[in-house]
């Protein structure tokens, strides 16, 4: 039985929930300005000096897939270590510091060496994505069962607002560098990367102060034994996942439909640059996504009450099916703005409700480890999508046909999600009243 109500209104609980949401505000600057908006265009401009545009698009896809593959290996290990040590926040802090260092390295990388950009991006992205496992696993620490949809959606909304606010500053920097005392757009881009690092670190601090976590066990375990126990725990969890049929089915569904979402997020800007859309429209449209996606994420959180989270996510998947088809016909800046508006409507809400649905299916004592598996599902999907996109882009001489590779994945995910019984899964996890 849950006991949400007696604790829901306490000041400490409200501070913890706000601090948890503020981390989304903090790290969304990296996801928005670095991963989605500025770095793909900057990388394309640097790489295109030594290769064709569509080759740069494919290379970016392969690099994204490699970073996600490494994260898929590290995420469950980080989650299981967090469960055994009861030290989620220190491990998350290490990820934040590594991500900040990688982002600062982007700002200092030579302007003519595309390989150094990819290396720094890889370090920062692996730290960012691995840290999100620990961050997501802290959701049950600040929200009861009946609060999870709303708090998860609020976190995404704050993330869109924070990422959008800093992206607006970056848009002004890149388009009008001389007004800010910068010589050119390249210098403005490097300043933007440095500001993301500072933003990420500064707004992460409230989480480490206000969000609770279980105390560490009194008995200290040697590092070697801890790693052996962690690997053994992961193997046992993998073997027993099939016994939790709804949790397992949800993971497969999420693996499929999140492939489409993740690939669109990572490849949209560099694909737009390939077809000739200018940086002003690319960054401007992504800024619009940040503005529109915040209320859209909150709306999805409200839709979960009358419709249920599963039906609401189905609406999001239907939207992404349309996005994939529309992207095939992308040719003008107006088309990119329309595509961005469609993404804004469905992206945050679909991700937020997926996160809260999974949290409702997870036994509380395994939140860190199983959120690692949740992250693995997302990351493995992220490996497949960009690789498919890159291969089809290389074979066809452009990214247009590659946009249609997303359709079987999102539709397959919808079919698998329809087979999940949330009520039964909650009972199996011990989370139902």
Continuous H helices in 329-396: 333-361, 367-396
Domain annotation covers residue 252: yes
Which residue is associated with the tokens 């979402």? 261
- How high does pLDDT run on average in the chain? 83
With 70 as the cut, is the pLDDT of residue 2 above it? no
Domain annotation covers residue 60: yes
Domain annotation covers residue 3: no
pTM: 0.72
Find the range with the poorest average confidence among 228-232, 270-274, 298-302, 405-409: 228-232
> Which range has highest mean pLDDT (218-227, 246-255, 293-302)?
246-255
CB atoms within 10 A of CB 90: 13
Instruction: Identify the pLDDT of residue 125.
Output: 92
Find the range with the poorest average confidence among 74-83, 149-158, 276-285: 74-83
Domain annotation covers residue 140: yes
Domain annotation covers residue 361: yes
Find the range with the poorest average confidence among 19-23, 128-132, 260-264: 260-264
Question: pLDDT tens digits, residue range 341-386?
Answer: 988 888 878 887 887 888 888 887 677 667 766 666 666 666 777 8
Say how far apart CA 379 and CA 394 lie, in whole Å.
23
- What domain count does the chain have? 1
Question: pLDDT tens digits, residue range 231-270?
Answer: 776 677 777 777 788 888 898 888 888 877 778 777 888 8
Task: Determine the average pLDDT of the residues in 29-57.
Answer: 83
Phi-psi region at 195: left, alpha or beta (left = phi > 0; alpha = psi -120 to 50): alpha
Tokens at residue 174, please? 């890149």
Find the range with the poorest average confidence among 113-127, 178-192, 384-398: 384-398
The answer to whether 303 and 316 are in contact (CB under 8 A) is: no
Q: At what angle do helices 11-29 and 148-175 cross, to 10 degrees?
A: 40
How many H-runs (helices) and E-runs (strands) does the chain carry? 17, 0
The answer to whether 284 and 38 are in contact (CB under 8 A) is: no
Instruction: Identify the pLDDT of residue 252.
Output: 86
Domain that holds residue 69: 10-213+220-429
Instruction: Identify the pLDDT of residue 230.
Output: 63
Question: pLDDT tens digits, residue range 167-193?
Answer: 999 989 988 999 999 998 889 999 999
Instruction: Identify the pLDDT of residue 235.
Output: 74
Whichever domain contains 232, its CATH number is 1.20.1250.20
């Amino acid at each position: 039985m849950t006991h949400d109500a007696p604790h829901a209104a306490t000041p400490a609980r409200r501070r913890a929930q706000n601090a948890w949401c503020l981390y989304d505000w903090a790290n969304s600057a990296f996801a928005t300005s670095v991963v989605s908006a500025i770095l793909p265009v900057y990388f394309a401009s640097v790489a295109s000096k030594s290769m064709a545009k569509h080759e740069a698009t494919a290379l970016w896809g392969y690099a994204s897939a490699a970073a996600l593959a490494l994260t898929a290996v590290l995420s469950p290990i980080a989650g299981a270590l967090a469960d055994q040590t009861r030290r989620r926040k220190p491990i998350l802090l290490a990820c934040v510091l590594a991500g900040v260092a990688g982002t600062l390295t982007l700002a200092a990388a030579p302007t003519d060496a595309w390989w150094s950009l990819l290396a720094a991006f890889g370090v920062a992205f692996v730290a960012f994505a691995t840290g999100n496992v620990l961050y997501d696993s802290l959701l049950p620490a600040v929200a009861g069962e009946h609060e999870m949809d709303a708090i998860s959606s609020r976190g995404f909304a704050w993330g869109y607002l924070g990422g959008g606010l800093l992206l607006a500053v970056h848009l002004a920097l890149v388009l009008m560098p001389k007004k800010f005392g910068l010589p050119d757009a390249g210098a403005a881009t490097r300043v933007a990367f440095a500001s993301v690092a500072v933003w990420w670190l500064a707004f992460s601090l409230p989480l480490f102060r206000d969000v609770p976590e279980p105390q560490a066990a009194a008995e200290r375990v040697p590092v070697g034994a801890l790693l052996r126990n962690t690997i053994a725990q992961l193997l046992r969890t993998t073997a027993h996942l099939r016994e939790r049929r709804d949790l397992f089915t949800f993971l497969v569904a999420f693996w499929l439909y999140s492939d489409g979402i993740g690939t669109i997020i990572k490849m949209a800007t560099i694909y737009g640059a390939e077809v000739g859309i200018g940086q002003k429209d690319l960054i401007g449209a992504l800024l619009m996504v940040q503005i529109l996606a915040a209320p859209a994420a909150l709306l999805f959180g409200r839709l979960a009450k009358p419709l249920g989270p599963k039906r609401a996510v189905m609406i999001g998947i239907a939207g992404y099916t349309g996005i994939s088809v529309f992207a095939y016909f992308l040719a003008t800046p107006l088309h990119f703005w329309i595509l961005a508006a469609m993404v804004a409507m469905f992206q945050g809400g679909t991700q937020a409700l997926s996160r809260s649905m999974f949290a409702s299916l997870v036994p509380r004592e395994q939140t860190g480890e199983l959120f690692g598996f949740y992250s693995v599902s997302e990351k493995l999907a992220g490996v497949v999508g960009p690789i498919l996109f890159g291969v089809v882009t290389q074979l066809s001489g452009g990214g247009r046909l590659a946009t249609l590779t997303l359709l079987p994945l999102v539709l397959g995910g919808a079919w698998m999600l329809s087979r999940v019984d949330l009520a039964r899964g909650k009972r199996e996890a011990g989370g139902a009243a």
